[in-house]
Amino acid sequence: MKCPKLAHKILATVLLAGVTATASAQMMINGAGATFPYPIYSKWFDEYAKVDPSVRFNYQSIGSGGGQKQILAQTVDFGASDGPMTDDNLTKAPGKILHIPTVAGAVVLTYNLPGNPALKLDADTIAGIFLGQIKKWNDPKLAALNSGANLPDQEIVVVHRSDGSGTTFIFTDYLSKVSSEWKEKVGNNTSVNWPAGIGGKGNEGVSGQVKQTPGAIGYVELIYATQNKMPYAEVKNSAGQFVKPTIDSVTAAIATANIPDDFRFSMTNAPGKDAYPISGATWLLVYEQQKDATKGKKLVEFLKWAMKDGEKMAKDLDYASLPESVQQRVLKRIAEIKM
């Protein structure tokens, strides 16, 4: 009678060993940062698990400021940011950090008004609202841009990010280019001292605050507005055209961007009649010299896949893929990562 029990024990041990081997063979690559590209990165990580089942990605969507801090502290294998790292920040790194641009997107002005009328905004009104100078929805400046729209006699509630954010970097980069008063008083960064409003954490938090606050206006990445079925404004660009934030208008903006060798660039307030003016790219941040050769090799394989195959998924999630010429340049940069 002992034999069957022994056989069961041996089988259980063999099965357990198999499970343990599978678990240990599956490598975990950790990343943290931007909420702006979180929807597409989540898609990439899920799809890549089918390409290479030995790798899993754990990505914390904590904001670009957090992504930059964690890559500097080497607590993650890659960071993610919608604002390029400053020279000052890069000098604090224990090694050379590479900026790998992935996709571009639109930062949109979303709002909560009765009947949610289609709104048109220009640089002056956006700066005026976020500086706390335009306080009512029926302000003459807003009325002049939106003749025929039913704008209520209602207080404007500004909603901004409360965390270090690349979406904030893109938005304040735009405002600093179009408003000298904004540039002087507030400036451009992942975190700024907001002259007005209430804070929300992440694109998710800002979307939620706007949705539940009558009279609110906030800035979020396009997909967060579309997923939440929230309205967003057309914005007057540098060519004087009111432009809807779409994949095509972001693609028009990135086509004009001057992209240097280190890939740290801005594409806000881009020239051209079709360009949406509050557009920005997002980057993965990785060390040129990888500490863990095995993990580094897997990370490089993923980055190459993202640039070749992942880019094709951008459009379905309301992001603009990088131009083909830029993709080729990025692939060369990825090839420079050392183990």
Which residue type occupies 241? Q
* C-alpha to C-alpha distance for 45 and 50, rounded to whole angstroms: 9
Q: How confident is the model at residue 202 (pLDDT cuts 50, 70, 90)?
A: confident
Which pLDDT belongs to residue 38?
92
Split at pLDDT 50, 70, 90, the class of 20 is: very low
Integer angstrom CA distances of residue 262 from 98, 247, 290, 300: 7, 25, 18, 18
Mean pLDDT score of the chain = 91
Q: Confidence class of residue 215 from pLDDT cuts 50, 70 and 90?
A: very high
Q: Does residue 115 surpass a pLDDT of 60? A: yes
* 223 or 186, greater pLDDT: 186
Specify whether the CB–CB gap between 299 and 77 falls below 8 A: yes
pLDDT higher than threshold 60 for residue 2: no
How high is the pLDDT of residue 18? 46
Using CA atoms, how far apart are residues 262 and 65, in angstroms rounded to an integer? 20
Give the model confidence (pLDDT) of 279-324 as tens digits. 999 999 999 999 999 999 999 999 999 999 999 999 999 899 999 9
Written as one letter, the residue type at 330 is V
Query: Residue range 31-55: average pLDDT?
Result: 95
pLDDT at 211 over 90: yes
Instruction: In whole angstroms, give the CA distance from residue 15 to residue 116.
Output: 59
Mean pLDDT of 327-333: 96
Q: What is the mean pLDDT of residues 18-43?
A: 79
User: Is residue 132 predicted with pLDDT exceeding 60?
Assistant: yes
CA distance 286 to 171: 24
What span, in angstroms and rounded, lies between the C-alpha atoms of 132 and 185? 12
What gap in Å lies between CA 222 and CA 333, rounded to an integer? 28
* Domains along the chain with CATH numbers: 27-103+282-334 (3.40.190.10), 106-279 (3.40.190.10)
Say if residue 13's pLDDT is above 60: no
End-to-end Cα, the chain, rounded Å: 56
